[in-house]
């Protein structure tokens, strides 16, 4: 049974490097995330290979399209055997409900929504005609995602408390922007340690470079798992 809360972001430009990193990890001690770059370069085959290696795969393609198209894309993701897939909450209730209807079986992947991209601030929202703060918009979209049957949302660690106070405890929170104490921040600005994020109520932590760029990725992952277990 995989009890780890860590999802390792395999942000690599090709399948060879992604798979060689994955080979150094333990599929019972983490999960992995395949995003747009790796998927666009290497296609579904790299996902199949990771699934064959017994990894739970989060396919992070953030679908946003008309309901019919998103539902079919979700079905294709489920056919690949992924553990989690995501859509943009901004695609609206009908789109999310169509995705939910497709992914309704017992073995269906978890279905997660993206609210406001953490790269966007108030002025970006205003330019889109949204006259409210990013936090207000995050809450609004998270509540819509919950009402549309999503299993949870991707959110920044700074949003965990807001969402945990307003949304049911079963709603899953998936948080990037995590940095173990003493590791490089890179381009992440507002960060939290793994233990802090879990204490506030995060269910899964998406962590890339602190593991993938470590000299010993398995040791870096094990240290994070130990921090969380302790
Ligand atoms: O290397 P690092 O730990 O910063 O990787 C974080 C991962 O989470 C990357 O795949 C990044 O694209 C993703 N992500 C993020 N911030 C968001 C949404 C996704 O860092 N708001």
Taking residues 183-194, report their average pLDDT: 90
**Please, are residues 228 and 194 in contact by the beta-carbon 8 Å criterion?**
yes
Q: Looking at residue 230, what is its pLDDT?
A: 79
Residue 189 is predicted with a pLDDT of: 83
| pLDDT over 80 (residue 122) | yes
Q: What is the pLDDT of residue 188?
A: 84
Mean pLDDT of 152-162: 97
Ligand 1 within 6 A of CB of 151: no
Instruction: Look up residue 194 and give its two tokens.
Output: 């793994």
3-class SS of residue 95: helix
Domains of the chain: 6-229 (3.20.20.70)
Contact 53, 18 (CB under 8 A): no
Query: Which of 56, 99, 100, 103 lies closest to 79 in space, CA to CA?
Result: 103
pLDDT digits (tens, 9 = 90+) for 70-114: 999 999 999 999 999 999 999 999 999 999 999 999 999 999 999
- Enter the tokens of residue 207: 């962590």
Q: Whose CA is nearest to atom 13 of ligand 1?
A: 176
Q: What is the mean pLDDT of the chain?
A: 96
Q: Report residue 149's pLDDT band, with 50, 70 and 90 as the boundaries.
A: very high
Predicted local distance difference test score (pLDDT) of residue 66: 98
Predicted pLDDT at 28: 96
Look at residue 3 and tell me whether its pLDDT is greater than 90.
Answer: no
Is the model's pLDDT at 225 over the cut of 80? Answer: yes
Q: What's the 180 CA to ligand 1 centre distance in angstroms? A: 14
Binding site membership of 159 for ligand 1 (Cβ less than 6 Å): no
- DSSP classification of residue 230: -
Give residue 187's pLDDT: 87
Q: Is 118 in the pocket of ligand 1 (CB under 6 A)?
A: yes
Confidence band for 159, pLDDT divided at 50, 70 and 90: very high
The predicted structure's pLDDT at residue 2? 85
Q: What is the DSSP string of 162-174?
A: HHHHHS-TTSEEE
pLDDT of 1 over the 80 cut:
no
Nearest CA to ligand 1 atom 5: 208
For the question of whether the overall pTM of this predicted structure is more than 0.75, the answer is yes
pLDDT: which is higher, 190 or 53: 53
- Closest ligand 1 atom to Cα of 117: 21
């Amino acid at each position: 049974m995989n009890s780890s809360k860590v999802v390792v972001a395999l942000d690599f430009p090709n399948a060879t490097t992604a798979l060689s990193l994955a080979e150094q990890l333990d599929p019972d001690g983490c999960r992995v995330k395949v995003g747009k770059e790796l998927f666009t370069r290497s296609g579904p085959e790299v996902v199949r290979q990771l699934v064959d290696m017994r990894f739970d795969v989060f396919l992070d393609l953030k679908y946003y399209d008309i309901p019919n198209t998103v539902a079919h894309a979700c079905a294709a993701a489920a056919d690949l055997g992924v553990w989690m897939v995501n859509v943009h909450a901004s695609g609206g209730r009908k789109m999310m409900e169509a995705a939910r209807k497709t992914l309704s079986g017992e073995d269906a992947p978890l279905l997660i929504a993206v609210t406001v991209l953490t790269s966007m601030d108030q002025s970006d929202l205003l330019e889109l005609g949204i006259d409210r703060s990013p936090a207000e918009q995050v809450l609004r979209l998270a509540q819509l995602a919950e009402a549309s049957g999503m299993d949870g949302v991707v959110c920044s660690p700074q949003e965990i408390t807001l969402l945990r106070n307003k949304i049911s405890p079963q709603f899953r929170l998936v948080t990037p922007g995590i940095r173990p104490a003493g590791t490089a921040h890179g381009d992440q600005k507002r960060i939290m340690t793994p233990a802090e994020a879990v204490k506030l109520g995060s269910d899964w932590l998406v962590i890339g470079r602190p593991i993938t760029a470590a000299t010993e990725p398995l040791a870096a992952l094990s240290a994070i798992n130990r921090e969380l277990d302790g």
